[in-house]
Structure 1
Amino acid sequence: MGVFEPLADLLLGACCPGCGAPGLGVCADCLAAVRPAPRVILDGPPPVVACLPYRAPLTSLVTAHKDRGAGWLCDLLGSWLAPGLAAVVEAAGSCPALVPLPSTPVAVRRRGADHVLDLLRAASVRCGLPREAVSPLLRRTRRVRDQVEVSHQERSGNQAGSMSAVRGEGPVVVVDDIRTTGASLDEAVRALTASGHDVLAALVLADAEHPRRWA
C-alpha cells in the first residue's frame, strides 16, 4: 500500500474495499473469504485455468482496483493470481511468454493504468519469474465498447477482430482478470495464433461463468 492511500483513508474515513467495514485496508474477514484454488474450467484448446470464482468479496475488490483508484490492491490480487500462474508455468516445463490481455486506450487513460498488465507483473514477481517473461504482445486494432456495457450475446461480436499480435514463435500463455463469456480471451487467442504463437493456456484470476464448479 502506498503512503498516500492510508493518509487519505485517515482523512476521509477508511473502509474495506471488499465489504465496506470500517478500517484500513482489506479486512480480515474478506481476506479469509478468498482462497485461490486454481483449476481448469474449460478443456480448450487452449485450456482455461481460473484461480477463483468471481463472487463477493472479490467482485468489489476487483472493481475497486480497476475503477475506483485502489491501485494498492494490485499486489494482493497478484498474490491470488500467482498460484494459477505457477501451475501453468510448471505444466509448460519452462517459462512461456506471459501475454496480458490489452486494455483499451480509453480505459487506460480513464484508470491511469493498464490493470491486467500490472496484475500479471505482480503475480510474476510472486512466482520469481524474470521480468521479461511478461510480454505485451497484443494490441487493440479498433475501438470496442466496454464489455460491461453490452449484453452477453453481443460480447463476441464486440471483440471480434479487435486485436492483433506481434509476430513470433514459441509458447505463450494469455492472461486476463475476469472471464465471463470468454469473448475477449477467444479474440486474444485468435490474434496470437494468427501471428504464429503457440497458445498453451489461458489464465484468469476469476471465473464468472461457471459458479457451480466452485461449490
Structure 2
Amino acid sequence: MVVFEPLADLLLGACCPGCGSPGLGVCAECLAAVRPAPRVILDGPPPVVACLPYRAPLTSLVTAHKDRGAGWLCGLLGGWLAPGLSAVVEAATRCPRLVPVPSSPPAVRRRGADHVLDLLRAASARCELPAGAVSPLLRRTRRVHDQVEVSHEARSGNQAGSMRALPGAGEVVVVDDIRTTGASLDEAVRALTASGYRVLAALVLADAEHPRRWA
C-alpha cells in the first residue's frame, strides 16, 4: 500500500494532501510549515503533552490519513509524534506501556485501520522503543458518535463510560491524535486508572483546543 498509493496518485492526477497543489506526495511548502515542538498544554494530573497546533496544513493531512485512505501518511505523521513520545518516555524511570485511544469498531471498519494505533506504532519505531511497548489495552464498551459529529458541550457525555481497560498494573502513557475538549483522553485515563494502571501522561499529535497559544 505504501508504494501503490503514491503511484495511483501519480497516474490519476496527483496533488498534495496538505494544500492541494499539483505534485506527488506532501509538497515542500507543507513539510516546511510543520515543525513539531512538544510542550505541556495541561498540567494535569496527568499532564497533557502536544507536539503541534492543529492548523493548516496539518488539519488536511490528518483528515487525509484518517478518512481519505492516505495510509502512506502514517510514517510522516508518526515522525511528527515521535519527538513528544521521546520526551514523555525519557521522563519516566523506565519505558511505560504506550496505550492508544481506541477508535470505535464501526470507524475501524469504515477506515480499514485503527489510525491512532498505526500512528503510535510508527512513532514508537521511529524512537526505537522496545518491541511490545505499544499496548492496546483499551476497548470500547458501547458505541459512540464520531467526536466531529458532536457539539463541544456534548462530547464528554458521548465518551463517558465508553471504554474499559484490561486489568493490570504499572505505568502507562495514553496517546491520541487530536485533543479538542479532552473528552476522549479523560475517558481513557479513567478506564486505565480504574483497572489498576498509573497514567504518567497523555500525549497527542496536535492541540485543537487552543492553537493560538502556539503562535
TM-score by length of 2: 0.99
Partner of 1:212: 212
Matched, 1:159 2:159: yes
Partner of 2:41: 41
SS at match of 1:92: coil
What amino acid maps onto 1:112 in structure 2? G
Partner of 2:140: 140
RMSD: 0.8
Partner of 1:71: 71
CA distance in 2, matches of 1:6, 1:79: 19
What amino acid maps onto 2:127 in structure 1? C
What amino acid maps onto 1:24 in structure 2? L
CA distance in 1, matches of 2:23, 2:134: 34
CA distance in 1, matches of 2:104, 2:166: 17
What amino acid maps onto 2:85 in structure 1? L
SS at match of 2:98: strand
- Consecutive unaligned residues of structure 1, counting only runs of 5 or more, are none
What amino acid maps onto 1:47 in structure 2? P
CA shift, 1:3, in A, is 1.9
- Consecutive unaligned residues of structure 2, counting only runs of 5 or more, are none
Task: Encode CA deviations 1:171-215: one digit per residue, 9 max, x unaligned.
Answer: 000000000000000000000000000000000000000123201
CA distance in 2, matches of 1:148, 1:7: 31
Partner of 2:24: 24
Partner of 1:198: 198
What amino acid maps onto 1:186 in structure 2? D
Contact map agreement 1:121 1:131 (CA 8 A) in 2: no
Partner of 1:56: 56
User: Runs ≥4 in structure 1, deviation > 4 angstroms?
Assistant: none
CA distance in 2, matches of 1:82, 1:112: 23
CA distance in 1, matches of 2:170, 2:85: 18
CA shift, 1:7, in A, is 2.1
What amino acid maps onto 2:43 in structure 1? D
Partner of 2:94: 94
How many residues align? The count is 215
Contact map agreement 1:174 1:188 (CA 8 A) in 2: yes
CA shift, 1:62, in A, is 0.1
CA distance in 2, matches of 1:55, 1:201: 23
Task: Encode CA deviations 1:129-171: one digit per residue, 9 max, x unaligned.
Answer: 0120000000000000110001000000000000000111110
Which deviates further from its counterpart, 205-214 or 77-86? Answer: 205-214
SS at match of 1:7: helix
CA shift, 1:93, in A, is 2.3
Task: Encode CA deviations 1:28-57: one digit per residue, 9 max, x unaligned.
Answer: 000000000000000000000000000000
SS at match of 1:172: strand
Q: Using the aligned pairs only, state the percent identity.
A: 88
What amino acid maps onto 1:182 in structure 2? G
What amino acid maps onto 1:190 in structure 2? R
Contact map agreement 1:171 1:199 (CA 8 A) in 2: yes
